[in-house]
Amino acid sequence: RKLNVNAEAESEELVDPPKIEDKLGAVPHGLSTDSDVAKRESESMSRKNLRSNAQKFEFQAEVSRLMDILINSLYSNKDIFLRELISNASDALDKIRFLSLTDKEILGEGDDATLEIQIKLDKEKKILSIRDRGIGMTKEDLIKNLGTIAKSGTSAFVEKMQTSGDLNLIGQFGVGFYSVYLVADYVEVISKHNDDKQHVWESKADGAFAISEDTWNEPLGRGTEIRLHLRDEAGEYAEESKLKELVKKYSEFINFPIRLWASKEVDVEVPADEDDSSDEEEKPEETSTEEEGDDDDSEKGEDEDEKKSKTKTVKETTYEWELLNDVKAIWLRSPKEVTDEEYAKFYKSLAKDFSDEKPLAWSHFNAEGDVEFKSVLFVPPKAPQDLYESYYNANKSNLKLYVRRVFISDEFDELLPKYLSFLMGLVDSDTLPLNVSREMLQQHSSLKTIKKKLIRKALDMIRKIADEDPDESNDTEKKDIEESDDNNEKKGQYTKFWNEFGKSIKLGIIEDAANRNRLAKLLRFESTKSEGKLTSLDQYIKRMKPGQKDIFYITGTSKEQLEKSPFLERLIKKNYEVIFFTDPVDEYLMQYLMDYEDKKFQNVSKEGLKLGKDSKGKELKESFKDLTKWWKGILASENVDDVKISNRLSDSPCVVVTSKYGWSSNMERIMQSQTLSDASKQAYMRGKRVLEINPRHPIIKELQERVVKDPEDANVKQTAELMYQTALMESGFVLSDPKDFASRIYGQVKNSLNISPDAATEEEEDVEVEAEAEAESKTSEADSSKEEDLDVKDEL
């Protein structure tokens, strides 16, 4: 909401803002004298009221809430504001440098073309200024970027603050600028964009900000200066030493020079006036050059001595721009020279993640050949909360693209496939052209090669986390390796990786056919033999029984549920290992992962399970022929394809298996739970069902006998239907008609309690509604009189 008001008068009336020139005496920049400017500058700096003739705006509600939180925050680490401002300045410099690639004029000349960040302190007035010669902001940019448009991160951050309260994360939510209010109670943003005049944005974080055209400050040329009027309790930031420490700590990897207007004590030779030379001995801090002289010099002529005694050395404070960072980009250095600590710090600055956790892994390499580039990739310690939300719609990439050291973009999703979008890092290419637009670059043929190499390197890096993790190895020889500190640090890292990013690897198997095998190597899961830990396909293969051809797996909602599944009975008895897949994405995954190292995957709840030949197979099939045929007939209306003798059951009487290419029961459940799934497709994709019976089970044996005796026995038919429905449930299907199932069960209960199947439920007596209402009012009257009684008793 835009309001033109007179802030000092606090009137809400819409008025024409008085022209700034009227108030300040209309001296244009070009004509103002230095002292005029200085006077006005100091005037504006000391004033903590928003300029009365400025255009005033209200902050967007979420932004206002965010500022309230910041200004009232008891958060002790207020340091973060500086790195956020430096990071914004660096972004602004990156932007102008990028634009200048296609239009040299844009940079201007002299100081304007100096791409650096300057920090200046006014100790007395407690004003800290951070200035850049970046792209700057137009008036409209100031209004939009600093207050009226809430970014998606704003409310997410506000919400997060209410629960966890770690302000350190502010940069990750794209609202870093507002952290200035941790240390300042009044902030001015002076900005000059090539397309607009210089403007001042100012706010005391009290719900409003103001913008005025700037006619009193020194012209910036181009760029932005943020002036923080420090709060009383933030005095420590008015110390040079503190600012130097912060830049070293947080902004080491900024690719532009950061300079501080730093004071320096220097020895200066000044002529010693007569009075001074007479008291020389009483002023030990002022060293005369004579004292510094060598003894031998005393032999020099008197004239010379006299000349020397006429000067003296005094300490003087001078100011100069002191460079605070080493601008050599980390990725240009040799990986051997960069320490682990430096990589960890670099990660933090890239990810704006200043928590204590280190990245799980990194890879720093130079790619040579047709396409040359340097890259550093990181696996973050934690997955962002929204990693899989709108996975297919979000255009998110965490890789920064540089071309010959010039930052181009961090929105290049062509560099990595979606499933690796959780990686952080950068690519600096020497091959890509510099002077073309982002759109042209996006279509450059080298990008494909870069992408291919990045994927390989990324997968190698992830594999290495597993290789170096002592927990990952089941080999006894490897376990014997002495436990070094390094080993301890790597212990459990792959499980950590898997828990954070395992789903991405699975999505990779689905999406990236070319790297499917490499990705399958990274897959982890629990199995009937993994003893509660994660295991891999390679380890599974090592444990396979002689003669076992397939890799067995089962899908469902939880390991606990699957462990009891009838599908596993015989496999476990025969000591086969079965993988548990319990993530909904696993069902999709297994549609793409057909085999691994020449071994086929077999879902043990589907047709086609081979467990060696049953010596009595043929015989059993023959002797249960009557039952299977009869049962198939009974279930004709149930979409059951066949009734067969099972080779997977041991203790259960029967199970329902699905055809090889149809959905498993688990997949049916997943599809049913999807709001937008298409019912007609569900019917079409539903796997054909086969009822498998256990010929050694007493119920099945009894049924066979009864069917042979009387295939029309209604009771046996009922039992057979009930058996099928029970098997459906136990096999993980959702019953389409639970009422029917329940009635059958009650029928059986009646039977076991010797109650006639026709015994009806007793009718309830009909009570007239009016009579009921009357009765109710009487009881409530009685209740209240009882309560009164109690009150009286209490008082007594």
Ligand X SMILES: Nc1ncnc2c1ncn2[C@@H]1O[C@H](COP(=O)(O)OP(=O)(O)OP(=O)(O)O)[C@@H](O)[C@H]1O
Residue list for the binding site for ATP: 84, 88, 132, 137, 145, 151-153, 172-177, 224, 438
Reference 189, options 153, 145, 154, 123; nearest CA is 145
**Residues placed in the known binding site:** 84, 88, 132, 137, 145, 151-153, 172-177, 224, 438
Q: Which CB atom, from 373 or from 402, has the smaller least distance to ligand X?
A: 402
End-to-end Cα distance, the chain: 64
CB of 72 to ligand X, least distance (A): 19
> Which one of 66, 67, 69, 89 is in contact with ligand X (CB under 6 A)?
89
Q: Which CB atom, from 229 or from 352, has the smaller least distance to ligand X?
A: 352
For 448: left if phi > 0, alpha if psi spans -120 to 50, otherwise beta; the answer is: alpha
Q: Which CB atom, from 178 or from 624, has the smaller least distance to ligand X?
A: 178
Whether 690 and 641 have beta carbons less than 8 Å apart is answered as yes
Q: Which CB atom, from 146 or from 534, has the smaller least distance to ligand X?
A: 146
Element (H, E) at 777: helix 769-795
Reference 349, options 276, 250, 464; nearest CA is 250
Q: Which CB atom, from 94 or from 569, has the smaller least distance to ligand X?
A: 94
Q: Which CB atom, from 36 or from 91, has the smaller least distance to ligand X?
A: 91
- Residue 420: DSSP 8-state: G
**Residue 309 to residue 273: CA distance in whole angstroms:** 10
CB of 534 to ligand X, least distance (A): 35
Binding segment toward ligand X, per CB under 6 A, in 8-16, 170-178, 311-319, 329-337:
170-178
> Which one of 62, 79, 84, 428 is in contact with ligand X (CB under 6 A)?
84
> Which one of 44, 53, 55, 88 is in contact with ligand X (CB under 6 A)?
88
By CB under 6 A, residue 135 contacts ligand X: yes
Q: Which residues of 702-738 are buried (b: 16+ CB within 10 A; e: fewer)?
A: ebbebbeeeeeeeebbbbbbbbbbbbbebbbbeeeee
Binding segment toward ligand X, per CB under 6 A, in 74-82, 130-138, 258-266, 570-578:
130-138
Element (H, E) at 365: strand 361-367
CB of 381 to ligand X, least distance (A): 19
What's the Cα-to-Cα distance from 598 to each of 52, 481, 517, 593, rounded to whole Å?
Answer: 79, 32, 11, 12
Q: Which CB atom, from 191 or from 548, has the smaller least distance to ligand X?
A: 191
Binding segment toward ligand X, per CB under 6 A, in 169-177, 282-290, 421-429, 431-439:
169-177
**Residue 576 to residue 677: CA distance in whole angstroms:** 36
Binding segment toward ligand X, per CB under 6 A, in 42-50, 171-179, 338-346, 768-776:
171-179
The count of other CB atoms within 10 Å of the CB of residue 776 is 10
**Residue 438 to residue 433: CA distance in whole angstroms:** 10
> Which one of 171, 359, 381, 502 is in contact with ligand X (CB under 6 A)?
171
Q: Which CB atom, from 148 or from 682, has the smaller least distance to ligand X?
A: 148
Q: Which CB atom, from 193 or from 669, has the smaller least distance to ligand X?
A: 193
Reference 403, options 364, 377, 436, 368; nearest CA is 436
Q: Which CB atom, from 67 or from 522, has the smaller least distance to ligand X?
A: 67
By CB under 6 A, residue 137 contacts ligand X: yes
Q: Closest CB to ligand X belongs to which residue?
A: 176
Contacts with 82 (C-beta within 8 Å, 6 or more apart), sequence order: 130, 237, 243, 246, 247, 250, 251
Q: Which CB atom, from 81 or from 567, has the smaller least distance to ligand X?
A: 81
**Residue 136 to residue 141: CA distance in whole angstroms:** 9
Measured CA angle at 91 (ends 90, 94), to 5 deg = 85
Give the x-and-dash track for 17-46 against ligand X (CB under 6 A).
------------------------------
Whether 378 and 338 have beta carbons less than 8 Å apart is answered as no
**Residue 598 to residue 517: CA distance in whole angstroms:** 11
> Which one of 44, 55, 87, 555 is in contact with ligand X (CB under 6 A)?
87
Note every long-range contact of 163-171, with CB atoms under 8 Å and residues 24 or more positions apart, other chains counting.
165/75, 166/355, 167/70, 167/73, 167/75, 167/77, 167/80, 168/77, 168/80, 168/354, 168/355, 169/352, 169/353, 169/355, 170/80, 170/84, 171/80, 171/83, 171/84, 171/87, 171/352, 171/354
> Which residues, 173 to 212, sit near ligand X by CB under 6 A?
174-177
Give the x-and-dash track for 526-545 against ligand X (CB under 6 A).
--------------------
Q: Which CB atom, from 258 or from 505, has the smaller least distance to ligand X?
A: 258
**Alpha helices for 352-445 (secondary structure H):** 438-442
Binding segment toward ligand X, per CB under 6 A, in 82-90, 205-213, 634-642, 702-710:
82-90
Binding segment toward ligand X, per CB under 6 A, in 88-96, 372-380, 467-475, 766-774:
88-96
By CB under 6 A, residue 505 contacts ligand X: no
CB of 186 to ligand X, least distance (A): 17
For 10: left if phi > 0, alpha if psi spans -120 to 50, otherwise beta; the answer is: left
By CB under 6 A, residue 349 contacts ligand X: no
- Residue 688: DSSP 8-state: P
Contacts with 617 (C-beta within 8 Å, 6 or more apart), sequence order: 645, 647
What radius of gyration do the chain's Cα atoms show? 39
Q: Which CB atom, from 225 or from 428, has the smaller least distance to ligand X?
A: 225
Give the x-and-dash track for 219-258 against ligand X (CB under 6 A).
-----x----------------------------------
Binding segment toward ligand X, per CB under 6 A, in 134-142, 468-476, 516-524, 722-730:
134-142
Sheet of strand 689-693, all strands in order from the earlier edge strand to the far edge: 640-645, 689-693, 654-658
By CB under 6 A, residue 145 contacts ligand X: yes
> Which one of 66, 92, 150, 635 is in contact with ligand X (CB under 6 A)?
92
By CB under 6 A, residue 498 contacts ligand X: no
Whether 194 and 106 have beta carbons less than 8 Å apart is answered as yes
By CB under 6 A, residue 694 contacts ligand X: no
Q: How many residues bind ligand X (CB under 6 A)?
A: 20
Reference 241, options 227, 226, 262; nearest CA is 262
CB of 727 to ligand X, least distance (A): 57
Helix/strand/coil percent split, the chain, to 5: 45, 20, 35
Binding segment toward ligand X, per CB under 6 A, in 131-139, 156-164, 375-383, 549-557:
131-139
Query: Which residues of the shown chain bind ligand X in the complex (CB under 6 A)?
Result: 84, 87-89, 91-92, 132, 134-137, 145-146, 171, 174-177, 224, 352
